[in-house]
């Protein structure tokens, strides 16, 4: 049964055959590579906490339904955290956790690659 808390993994040395994909690499690519997830994390990297509508406005062609789905997934995996700010009305913002911020070098390198090759 899932508690909703992010899973913590300990790196274990494995003997992979050349050309074999490690399960952690596959899981990471599937997580960040899921449609819109990488773009959402990338937007939050440079902006800091944002409201739902601000994130949606920063990622072209992303529907509110898909944004909501991705935000729930990223929050469940411990990459994004939802913060409710006091006030009237209450203000909800989304920001990256430490785990999410550690994706910065990989996503910036992926962006540089895309600018060169795509």
The span from the first CA to the last CA of the chain, in angstroms, equals: 42
Structurally, the chain folds into a number of domains equal to 1
- Residue 85, in any domain of the structure: yes
Identify the CA nearest to 81 among candidates 90, 91, 92. Answer: 92
Identify the CA nearest to 77 among candidates 31, 33, 40, 45. Answer: 31
- Residue 15, in any domain of the structure: no
- Residue 4, in any domain of the structure: no
Range of the domain at 38: 23-117
Give the per-residue pLDDT at 9.
Answer: 58
CA distances from 88 to 84, 92, 95 (A): 11, 11, 21
Read off the CATH number of the domain in which 99 is found. Answer: 1.10.10.10
Give the per-residue pLDDT at 11.
Answer: 53
pTM over 0.85: no
- Residue 5, in any domain of the structure: no
**Spans of the chain below 50 pLDDT:** 1-2
Give the per-residue pLDDT at 55.
Answer: 97
């Amino acid at each position: 049964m899932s508690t909703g808390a992010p899973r913590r993994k300990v790196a274990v040395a494995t003997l992979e055959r050349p050309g074999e994909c490690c399960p952690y690499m596959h899981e990471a690519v599937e997580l960040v590579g899921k449609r819109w997830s990488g773009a959402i994390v990338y937007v939050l990297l440079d902006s800091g906490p944002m409201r739902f509508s601000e994130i949606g406005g920063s990622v072209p062609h992303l529907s509110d339904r898909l944004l909501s789905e991705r935000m729930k997934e990223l929050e469940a995996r411990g990459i994004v955290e939802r913060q409710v700010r006091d006030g009237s009305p209450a203000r909800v913002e989304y920001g990256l956790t430490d785990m999410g911020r550690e994706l910065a070098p990989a996503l910036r390198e992926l962006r540089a690659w895309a600018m060169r090759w795509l």
